[in-house]
Amino acid sequence: MPLRYQILGLVLLLCPVLQAGPSHPLAAPVPVITVSDSLDKKANGDILYFLDEQNKLTIAEVIGGERTWAVPESANLTFGLATTTVWVQAHFLNESPAPRAVFFEFNPVFLEQIHAYNEAGELLDSVGSTLPMERFESVPALKFEVPPGSSVRYFSVKSRSNSLATVVRSLPMHEVKNDFDLAVFCTLIGGLLLLMIYHVFLFVTYRDRTYLFYSLFLASTIHFTVSFSSYHKAILPDVILGFHTDFWWSALAAPILLFFIYLFSAALLDLFPHKPYFSGKDRLKSLLLVLPAMDLLTIVAVFATNSAYALIPVRFFALIHMLVLPSVGVVLWYRKRSNTIALYYALSWIPFTMGAFLIVAWLSGAVDHSYIYSWGLPIGTLCQSLLLAFAAGQQLNVVTQDKLQEQRDKLRVMDELENKVSKLKRRDQVIRSFVSLDVVEELDRGEDPLQYQPRNLNKCIAFMDMHNYTTFFETYSAFECQKTINEFFKIVNDAVYGERGRVDKIIGDAMMIEFSEPASCLKAIVRLRKNLSDANRQRSEQHQELLQFGTGISYGTMLSANFGSSHKIDRTLIGDPVNVASRLETITRQFAVDILCSKEFVDLLHDYQFYRPAGYVLLKGRAKKSLVYEVFEHHPPAVIEWKLSTRAKIMEAIKLELAEKYHEALAVIQSLIDICPPHTLHPELPMDPTLSAMVRAIEEKMRQLELKVPTKEELSPLLEQYRKAG
């Protein structure tokens, strides 16, 4: 059954003042309806009726029997709320020589069936909510032809309404009315669809449930409007899932619409309780949940009973919540006058209520017959939807402000995070500079460096220390010293880390470096010595003090562990190879070389040739003398060629010294000095200062042994002998 009949019946129940009074028996003359092309009028004053309270009479008994027909006293036929059959008799006068088509409309609130008969009792047409409809109209309309002259038509109306309004129209006026209805219907549906699509877009954009519920409310409003106009009969089958189409589109339309009205209202006005219990400000919100519960109960009851007629009490409570919600809006606006959302919400119910009462007034005869009155409720619903759209638009401002504030908060948080990330990056950079790389890598892997277990490792260790430290710091300021030493450390770091080495620690102007592979160690040391020579060349051109560093290299097994306490812990290497490397660096000045390395390290170089023995030394902590070697690959080509050519002679001199043949050793070295090219910067000195250092070392040893140091003349025979030997 059309939705408006259900709702308006309840309104009529609540508003008995609009119902007409009793009828009176027929008095001559009999009312006659004159048929013409312009016929369009309410027919209640031009018809006769009587009530079949037992619902037993047939059309033959009505026509052939003695019946007391009556005329309603007012424009509407009112007979009280009862299940009964109303028999209507209408007299027509067609002054045209041709038959005319006439449409006789009934507007009952709860209609079951209407049948139209002629004077002979023949059935002309039938309509009703329990009958399949072959056509669709906004109200039940019986179509029949009126022959020329006078004729009588009988109508059997089975209704549960307490009033019955009738309208009679000619075919032209019926077509005009249908065209008007279709235009209004399309306008309403088009407007509602546009609003729904727009608010679906808003929901997708802003993810605010207000727009979702408003879109669902508009969808149920479209359902309401289509049900009101009965246009669904043109597109839907008669039966869906075993239920008649009118059941789906009429009996369910009202509770569904009211349910989504509540959801939208609750989202818009913040009526959803925030707590699960009846406490504080949420008590009233929780009580309002009774309203949607009644709507859901209505839907369940309709399915359970397969009927809308038995649900008048439930529908009555559904109407109650339509009065409660606007009252809530008024209260919210009154308590906070700046709440324009509540104001628009409260105002939106005015056109809806006016539309409902407009139709009631039209059906009851309180206003003149007009097409527009029959569309009062749908038009009121559209106006309500527009005002609710304004309310939702205010919500958009709120949402926009919330979004802007949210974005501002996000930007603030992002700025804070960016600052924190920047600080963390800076801290990480500082930690990587001050802390052992092993420790940093363990932190990156999620390990605890404090739980590092001691272990023995085979490593190459190189020590580098500044020779002219005291002179340098006496000559330059602290700032210049720091700058210069850092330039040197940069040269070292670039070479060391370029060969996968690591700086273990920096001790003032000294550095301890570790490598896993001897070849990488040697390559890095040679590279940094070359880079240091280039830097010294530039400093010499600028008349600056040259940087003089010695390097000691050793290889062996050493202990890797954490050393220290909770206040200061250092990850480092300790062991004999570390001590050897440190002491080799110390004696580089004694041998006048840049790089000294242990025999253990040289034994791992295999085919490497740019080294030569430097002599036997007794390193601190060792009982026996150790043979140490000089690496000279970083020198200029002329020096490299010279030192390669003297490797055998140097080894011979070292063996002679070890055999305590000091004169012979001095003679071998002196023979090399005599043929050694001069130094490029100091021509008075030999190109190979290590030879002079070896002579001084042997002479000092002879003095310690209280042996006479021979003069050059005393060595002449030996020198001549070695020259002849080659």
Taking only the tens place, the pLDDT of each residue in 99-139 is 999 988 776 444 567 888 998 889 888 876 543 333 344 45
What amino acid is encoded at 546 in this protein?
A: L
Long-range contacts of 179-186 (CB under 8 A, 24+ apart): 180/371, 181/137, 181/138, 181/229, 181/371, 181/374, 181/375, 184/375, 184/378, 184/379, 185/225, 185/229, 185/231, 185/378
> CA 677, 682, 684, 688 torsion: positive or negative?
negative
Torsion sign over Cα 404, 410, 414, 416 = positive
Instruction: Name the CATH architecture for the domain at 446-634.
Output: 2-Layer Sandwich (3.30)
Residue type, 170: S
Q: What percent of the chain has pLDDT over 70?
A: 77
- So what's the pLDDT on residue 272? 61
The mean predicted confidence, pLDDT, of the chain is 79
Q: Is the pLDDT of residue 577 over 80?
A: yes
Tell me which range, 160-164, 371-375, 531-535, is most confidently predicted by mean pLDDT. Answer: 531-535
Highest mean pLDDT among 195-209, 217-231, 391-405, 686-700: 686-700
Coarse DSSP helix, strand, coil percentages of the chain, rounded to the nearest 5 percent: 55, 20, 25
What is the reported pTM? 0.50
- Residues 637-646 have pLDDT tens digits of 999 999 999 9
Judged against a pLDDT cut of 50, whether residue 13 lies above it is answered with: no
- Confidence class of residue 83 from pLDDT cuts 50, 70 and 90? low
Third-level CATH fold of 3-170: Immunoglobulin-like (2.60.40)
Compare 549 and 265 and report the one with higher pLDDT: 549
Model confidence at 307, pLDDT cuts 50, 70, 90, reads low
In which element (H, E) is residue 682 found? none
- For residues 567 and 445, what is the distance between their CA atoms, to the nearest angstrom? 24
Query: Yes or no: is domain 178-400 CATH 3.30.420?
Result: no
Burial of 186 (0-12, 13-18, 19+ CB in 10 A): exposed
| pLDDT value, residue 1 | 40
Segment 515-530 mean pLDDT: 93
Q: Which residue has the higher pLDDT, 459 or 225?
A: 459
CB count within 10 Å of CB 352 equals 23
- The predicted-structure confidence for 624-680, as pLDDT tens digits, reads as follows 888 999 999 999 999 999 999 999 999 999 999 888 888 888 888 888 888 888 887
Boundaries of every domain in the chain:
3-170, 178-400, 446-634, 647-726
CB contact at 8 A, 266 and 272:
yes
Per-residue confidence band for 15, with pLDDT thresholds at 50, 70 and 90: very low
Q: What is the model's pLDDT at position 23?
A: 42
Does this chain's domain 178-400 share its CATH topology with 446-634?
A: no
Who's near 422: CB < 8 A, 6+ residues apart? none
The secondary structure of residue 686, as a DSSP letter, is B
Query: Over pLDDT 90: what percentage of the chain?
Result: 19
Gap between the Cα atoms of 246 and 230, Å rounded: 9
